[in-house]
């Protein structure tokens, strides 16, 4: 579930990888050649892992760019008003394209709100969450509850399979409540997703056809944004863990209203069957959008734990044993949704860099080096 940025750089939602809110805009670093898409001037001096970088989109909120299994295409979600969007829909691109002067093909229905598209192994179909069965209009986006930032958890979300022309070929979930944030194991056999069918927001796995559903987590709090390790044996995800009676009551009351508060989240890691669950980060603030490094030994994630006012969000590395925390990006606003290509040569991510002082969040592809 990811929420579009509104007003003062708020959290995106609909995220498989929903975003923590930014409370106000911060100035970007000066970039004298910033309009040169593909120029290394888009890389800040400290960003040693980026050999080169290329900007893909140039307006609106664009995020959750996921690679095809052959690394030739990407599916991403956007609410770009210039493309006629009122809320997030899914778009397809070839990796050598950019959309400064053209619109990519939309491959979702155009109805409701969509989130979290992920290619299936045949490179011809993908899974994604959508609210279109309940209402063809975009659902309302509540951004505050009792003065605090919130994400809506729409009970109208279900998970579908579609081809790359946008034709829905299967519906994988039909339970009452929220089902979304689906991603696929690199082994090509399982899907992990978030559901509130138990009364809480937990992780589940299922086969590619929706069969053999198994609950993976069972602790109180929001578990979401899960990804498999490169060998398919582990899961990394973000979670809230209310502990005090006041925190528990607040969480349950919000969830009863279809809302969660995402400002305090940490990363957790477990085996693909839910066993050996461990908390990976203890950083405070919002730690989220984790993704495994191709080695399977590190996690790349977004965090504002160093921020005093909610921003910036930058990308960080941490080992799967919780050691060797390292900052990777050095922006002054927002970097998130890092996703490595399957061959490990490229990283797709979303950023506020080079947005001309607007609130746009665009997609970038960086050539990775170590």
Say whether pLDDT at 334 is over 50.
yes
Long-range contacts of 308-312 (CB under 8 A, 24+ apart): 309/23, 309/24, 310/20, 310/21, 310/22, 310/23, 310/24, 311/9, 311/22, 311/23, 311/24, 311/26, 312/22, 312/26
More confident residue, 235 or 356: 235
| 114 in Cβ contact with 129 (< 8 Å) | yes
pLDDT digits (tens, 9 = 90+) for 312-327: 999 999 999 999 999 9
Complete domains list, the chain, with CATH: 59-302 (2.120.10.30)
Local confidence band at 141 (pLDDT 50, 70, 90 cut-offs): confident
Q: Give the mean pLDDT of 284-298.
A: 97
Question: What is the average per-residue pLDDT within 176-201?
Answer: 97
Residue where the block lists tokens 């022309």: 165
| Residue 144 pLDDT | 77
Q: How confident is the model at residue 310 (pLDDT cuts 50, 70, 90)?
A: confident
pLDDT at 46 over 50: yes
Position 23 pLDDT exceeds 50: no
Q: Does residue 33 carry a pLDDT above 90?
A: no
Residue 135 has pLDDT above 70, yes or no: yes
pLDDT, mean of residues 82-91 = 96
Q: Which of 215-219, 236-240, 352-356 has the lowest mean pLDDT?
A: 352-356
Measuring CA to CA, how many Å separate 104 from each of 58, 78, 100, 287?
A: 12, 10, 10, 31
pLDDT at 187 over 80: yes
- Which range, of 6-10, 154-158, 321-325, averages the lowest pLDDT? 6-10
- pTM score: 0.91
| Res. 35: pLDDT tops 50 | no
Indicate whether 165 pLDDT > 90: yes
* 3-class DSSP assignment, residue 7: coil
The confidence band for 28, taking pLDDT boundaries of 50, 70 and 90, is very low
Confidence of residue 16 (pLDDT cuts 50, 70, 90): low
pLDDT band at 37 (very low <50, low <70, confident <90, very high): very low
């Amino acid at each position: 579930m990811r929420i579009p940025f509104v007003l003062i750089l708020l959290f995106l939602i609909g995220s498989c990888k929903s975003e923590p809110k930014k409370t106000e805009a911060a100035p970007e670093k000066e970039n004298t050649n910033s309009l040169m898409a593909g120029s290394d001037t888009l890389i800040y001096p400290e960003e040693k892992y980026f050999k080169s970088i290329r900007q893909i989109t140039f307006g609106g909120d664009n995020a959750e760019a996921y690679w095809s299994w052959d690394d030739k295409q990407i599916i991403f979600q956007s609410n770009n008003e210039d493309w006629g969007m009122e809320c997030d829909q899914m778009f397809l691109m070839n990796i050598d394209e950019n959309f400064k002067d053209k619109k990519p093909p939309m491959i979702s229905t155009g109805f409701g709100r969509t989130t979290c598209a992920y290619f299936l192994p045949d490179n011809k179909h993908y899974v994604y969450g959508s609210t279109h069965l309940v209402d063809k209009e975009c659902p309302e986006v509540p951004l505050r509850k009792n003065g605090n930032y919130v994400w809506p958890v729409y009970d109208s979300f279900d998970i579908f399979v579609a081809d790359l022309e946008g034709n829905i070929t299967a519906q994988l979930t039909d339970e009452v409540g929220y089902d979304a944030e689906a991603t696929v194991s690199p082994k090509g056999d399982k899907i992990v997703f978030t559901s509130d069918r138990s009364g809480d927001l937990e992780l589940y796995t299922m086969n590619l056809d929706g069969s053999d559903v198994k609950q993976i987590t069972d602790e109180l709090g929001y578990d979401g944004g899960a990804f498999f390790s490169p060998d398919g044996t582990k899961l990394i995800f973000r979670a809230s863990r209310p502990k005090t009676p006041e925190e528990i009551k607040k969480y349950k009351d919000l969830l009863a209203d279809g809302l969660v508060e995402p400002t305090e989240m940490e990363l957790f890691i477990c085996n693909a069957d839910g066993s050996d669950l461990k908390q990976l980060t203890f950083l405070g603030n919002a730690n989220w959008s984790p993704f495994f490094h191709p080695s399977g030994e590190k996690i790349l994630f977004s965090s504002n734990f160093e921020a005093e006012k909610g921003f910036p969000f930058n990308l960080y590395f941490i080992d799967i044993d919780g050691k060797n925390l390292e900052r990777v990006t050095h922006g002054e606003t927002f970097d998130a949704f890092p996703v490595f290509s399957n061959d490990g040569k490229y990283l797709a991510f979303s950023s506020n860099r080079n947005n001309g002082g607007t609130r746009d969040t665009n997609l970038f592809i960086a050539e990775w080096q170590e």
